[in-house]
């Protein structure tokens, strides 16, 4: 990785985004992490201090004014990554589905990335890239997961279109399977550990993913100048079983 590179990670205060921040800082890259909670950002910055100094900017990517300010504060970047998601309340069967919770999924996983592309384009060099995060729900849908499944699929279609519209800027998507991150507390609460362990037994690789597995894939999408409009599946073989 070029030590002069600068990467903005929306969702960088937790899970996959935090793991990506760690690996990029270790490379010597300049890393800006964004999320809604200033406290969570401060915690993340402290957790990363052993590898480098991440810059933090509090911003809600579902709000256009926040995204405009985010780029004003951040300035030029080489890569924009979004791992942001607010999905906890939307895992429900249709009769119980709360539309406000459903809209949070749409806003955080579709509108937010759209706004990052809209306002980030002018900040990116022609050799730059954008990476979004979809997920296995689009490929192995399950009851209660309809909204997340639909939004993940829509996000991938958005990336295909933006890869054409924003060219030569490259636009790609990483699609994780089940990965051990704090999001599982939102999604499954006390049952999270048992669900993850049961899934590990089913997967061809015999384990669930770690945040660093996904960070590795995002780094590939950022670095490989010949990949655009692609979805990289990092799911331990989940689509096969």
Ligand X SMILES: NC(=O)c1ccc[n+]([C@@H]2O[C@H](COP(=O)([O-])OP(=O)(O)OC[C@H]3O[C@@H](n4cnc5c(N)ncnc54)[C@H](OP(=O)(O)O)[C@@H]3O)[C@@H](O)[C@H]2O)c1
CB of 89 or CB of 125, closer to ligand X: 89
The answer to whether residue 109 forms part of the interface with ligand X (CB under 6 A) is yes
Would you count residue 146 as binding ligand X (CB under 6 A)? no
Give the residue, chosen from 54, 61, 124, 218, that forms a contact with ligand X under the rule CB under 6 A. 61
The region of 23-31, 46-54, 79-87, 157-165 touching ligand X under the rule CB under 6 A is: 79-87
Catalytic, out of 134, 157, 175, 230: 134
Residue whose token pair is 């997967």: 203
- Residue 5 interacting with ligand X (CB under 6 A): no
In whole angstroms, give the CA distance from residue 41 to residue 58.
Answer: 7
- Binding-site size for ligand X (CB under 6 A) equals 32
Q: Which of 97, 210, 82 is nearest to 148 (CA)?
A: 97
Does 136 participate in binding ligand X (rule CB under 6 A)?
Answer: yes
Angle between helix axes 112-120 and 146-165 (nearest 10 degrees) is 20
The first and second tokens of residue 227, run together, are 């990949």
Contact pick of 32, 85, 173, 218 for ligand X (by CB under 6 A): 85
To the query of whether residue 134 is one of the catalytic residues in this protein, the response is yes
8-state DSSP, 60 = -
- The H or E element that residue 30 is part of is strand 30-35
Helix ranges restricted to H, 75-127: 99-106, 112-120
Q: Does 176 bind ligand X (CB under 6 A)?
A: yes
Do residues 240 and 180 make contact, with C-beta atoms less than 8 angstroms apart? no
Stretch that binds ligand X, among 20-28, 68-76, 85-93, 116-124 (CB under 6 A): 85-93
């Amino acid at each position: 990785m070029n030590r002069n590179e600068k990467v903005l990670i929306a969702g960088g205060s937790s899970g996959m985004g935090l793991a990506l921040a760690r690996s990029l800082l270790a490379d010597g890259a300049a890393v800006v992490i964004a999320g809604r909670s200033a406290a969570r950002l401060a915690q993340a910055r402290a957790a990363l201090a052993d590898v480098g100094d991440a810059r933090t900017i509090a911003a809600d990517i579902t709000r256009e004014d926040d995204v405009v300010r985010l780029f004003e504060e951040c300035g030029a970047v080489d890569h924009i990554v979004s791992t942001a998601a607010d999905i906890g309340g939307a895992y429900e069967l249709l009769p119980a589905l709360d539309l406000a919770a459903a809209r949070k999924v749409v806003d955080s996983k579709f509108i937010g990335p759209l706004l990052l592309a809209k306002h980030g384009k002018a900040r990116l060099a022609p050799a730059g890239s954008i990476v979004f995060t979809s997920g296995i729900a689009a490929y192995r849908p399950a009851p209660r997961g309809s909204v997340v499944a639909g939004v993940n699929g829509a996000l991938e279609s958005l990336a295909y279109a933006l890869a054409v519209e924003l060219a030569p800027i490259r636009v790609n998507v990483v699609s994780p399977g089940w990965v051990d991150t704090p999001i599982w507390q939102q999604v499954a609460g006390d049952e999270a550990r048992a669900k993850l362990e049961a899934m590990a037994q089913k997967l061809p690789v015999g384990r669930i993913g770690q945040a660093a597995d996904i960070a590795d894939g995002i780094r590939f999408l950022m670095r490989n100048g010949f990949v655009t409009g692609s979805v990289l599946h990092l799911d331990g073989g989940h689509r096969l079983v």
